[in-house]
A and B are shown apart, each in its own frame.
Chain A
Amino acid sequence: MADLILTPNFDSADDFYAQLLASHEGLGKDESDALNARLILVLANHIGDAEVLSQALKTATLPGD
């Protein structure tokens, strides 16, 4: 059973972050929301593993939320 990686794992954190912001540039709130939603689905399918996905969903809910 795979574990969700919670230590730094990006090839290049700053580059990814810049790309993420760039892909939202010029979009209205609705379009940005839709892009984020599609991104979640694309990434979730790539992961596939049900256990990892459920850990990810739990992790996204911050302690105290």
Chain B
Amino acid sequence: MEPFGKTLWPSPARDTEFRAKAPGREPMNKIFETPLYAYDRSPDQDTATPVRHKVIVVGAGPVGLSAAIDLAQQGVEVVVLDDNDKVSFGSRAICFSQRTLDIADRLGCGKPMAESGVQWEAGKVFFDDRKVYEFDLLPEKGFANPAFVNLQQYHLENILVDRVRALQAEGAPIEIRGRNKVEAIGTHDDHVKLEVETPEGPYNVEADWLIACDGAHSPTRRMLGLDFDGRVFEDNFLIADVVMEADFPTERWFWFDPPFNRGQSALLHKQPDNVWRIDLQLGWDIDKEREKRPENVIPRLKAMLGEDVVFELEWVSIYTFQCRRMERFRYGRVLFAGDSAHQVSPFGARGANSGIQDTDNLCWKLKLVIDGQAPELLLDSYSRERVQAADENIQNSTRSTDFITPKSEMSRLMRDAVLDLSEHYEFARPLVNSGRLSTPCTYEGSSLSSADALSGPDLTCPGAACPDAPLGDEFLLSKLAGKFTLLTIDADAPDRIEEDGVEATRLALSIKDDLTLELKRRYLGDATSAVYLIRPDQHVAARRDNFEENAFRQAMRRATGKE
């Protein structure tokens, strides 16, 4: 997705956005204004020949920061370059999925995210001037993390930067360089060379590997002359964050064709600090300059929230949204992750969530390749698996967009028929699509997976992301972090196996470890025992009902790109 027009997002000089001063909210303003990673001269700027780093990450957004933390935690030396020095400001991501929280746990950031985020489970759907139905997601029990939390993107970035600082204090090889703008890239067979602009002039630096997390307008992509095809939605959205002391319930409210925004849609969603996200669809043929003026925005919001509700505007922006992806996410030594590689419309909250999953998929592979324990070919599986995920995300958000903004008379007719029926009959409600929340992609048919050899649940088939399960006071996923695991459930296996330099360690469980029987339901189904080979990113590589050494050795070779 991207903001309207030519303005470079997230450059602070956008003309499509203004930020109203919210008096008495100084602590919050500070987050945007304090340089979190201020420019500091690096010794690299004073050397005669460019210094070579293991990995350079371009971009300190949520995706770049997650990648850097992941690598540093594994001992891989990494430098993050960002042309800015602050967290991203304005109306950006708010909804983070369970999978993101699970990954954040592994990165040491899950707790502050879950603690500061708003949890919600209920929602209302309105059509015209009436409420057509309410829902309660009644989330399944037995997961360490909630189905999703709402949290401003700048809070997330702040938490990630804190984690970088904590890692540095522990001596981990990680560094962020603010106001370091990548201006030129030279690609070579075994390294990448960068020209970086700073307030004190340019310098050159090199890296064995480059991860481009430089956002939707990715200068890296542009400098390498790579394609970025897709579909632009011919619609404008006014995105406003308002501060109000209202006691609206913590719910997601979605309006189709409401009286205060005829022929269009609207969304209201709660964030921490009494901030509410409002999305108003504006249609295509509008005067953007006019629409974003407070004197035009405020009456609309009053009509939506009620005349008596007191609120202040925190941010107002106008966006058009796009769905597109690069053809591949790996070009030699350059890997693309996050918005630089793919964009989706925001219905379903798949942007940052899928970008963080990119890094989850990439970093363990890159570590093995750097350590010489896997062939470079393994990195092509990053591209294949995450392209598959991007296509799934694009398909989901395209379908939501088609429902929310019907493109033809017939699609509007069908949409309205669904909504009218949903008021009276439950059957029509699954057709109402105001965004399908992000769930992890199952890498079906991945070259890293072995054929399924367990008559177990589909949920945990090879390629799937492991679902969590309770283990008394603890949870399963926290025990599957960052390495190959041989999960045995009422089955025997050696404590560890090593195959061609890569090790898998056993986690021995019994269905008796979980009295709620979720472990059995999610991992055994009708089977009585199981052995799972689980990748460092918690996706299933192979499974069968018992430990058969040759099969699992072969599965490990496959999972590391050696078969």
Contact = CB atoms under 8 A, between A and B. Distances in A.
A34 B419 CA distance: 11
Contacts of A45: 427-428
Interface stretch (A1-9, A10-18, A19-27, A36-44): A36-44
24 contacts: A33-B413, A34-B413, A34-B416, A34-B417, A34-B420, A37-B413, A37-B414, A37-B416, A37-B417, A38-B417, A38-B420, A38-B421, A40-B414, A40-B417, A41-B414, A41-B417, A41-B418, A41-B421, A41-B428, A41-B431, A42-B421, A42-B427, A45-B427, A45-B428
Given A38-B417, A45-B427, 6 more contacts: A34-B416, A34-B420, A37-B417, A38-B420, A40-B414, A41-B428
A45 B418 CA distance: 11
Contacts of B416: 34, 37
A41 B416 CA distance: 11
Interface in B406-445: 413-414, 416-418, 420-421, 427-428, 431
Interface of B: 413-414, 416-418, 420-421, 427-428, 431
A53 to B, nearest CB: 13
Contacts of A41: 414, 417-418, 421, 428, 431
Interface of A: 33-34, 37-38, 40-42, 45
Contacts of B417: 34, 37-38, 40-41
A42 B416 CA distance: 14
A38 B416 CA distance: 9
Contacts of A40: 414, 417
A38 B431 CA distance: 12
Contacts of A37: 413-414, 416-417
Nearest to B426: A45
Contacts of B413: 33-34, 37
Most buried by B among A38, A40, A42: A38
Nearest to A48: B427
A41 B420 CA distance: 11
Contacts of A42: 421, 427
Nearest to B420: A38
Contacts of B421: 38, 41-42
Instruction: Rank and list the top 10 A-B pairs by shortest CB-CB distance, nearest first.
Output: A37-B417, A45-B427, A38-B417, A37-B413, A37-B414, A33-B413, A38-B421, A41-B417, A41-B421, A34-B417
A32 B416 CA distance: 13
Nearest to A37: B417
A42 B422 CA distance: 11
Contacts of B418: 41
Contacts of A34: 413, 416-417, 420
A37 B413 CA distance: 7
Nearest to B417: A37
A41 B414 CA distance: 8
Contacts of B431: 41
B412 to A, nearest CB: 10
Nearest to B416: A34
A58 B421 CA distance: 25
B372 to A, nearest CB: 48
Contacts of A38: 417, 420-421
B294 to A, nearest CB: 37
A34 B128 CA distance: 15
B296 to A, nearest CB: 31
A33 B421 CA distance: 14
A42 B421 CA distance: 9
B422 to A, nearest CB: 10
Contacts of B427: 42, 45
Most buried by A among B417, B421, B427, B431: B417
Nearest to A38: B417
Contacts of B414: 37, 40-41
A46 B562 CA distance: 49
B395 to A, nearest CB: 16
Contacts of B428: 41, 45
A38 B428 CA distance: 10
Nearest to A42: B421
A42 B427 CA distance: 8
A57 to B, nearest CB: 13
B256 to A, nearest CB: 15
Nearest to B414: A37
A41 B432 CA distance: 12
A40 B417 CA distance: 9
A58 to B, nearest CB: 18
Nearest to A33: B413
A64 B277 CA distance: 49
A37 B414 CA distance: 6
Contacts of A33: 413
A31 to B, nearest CB: 11
A41 B413 CA distance: 12
A21 to B, nearest CB: 19
A60 B428 CA distance: 22
B431 to A, nearest CB: 7
A33 B420 CA distance: 13
A7 to B, nearest CB: 27
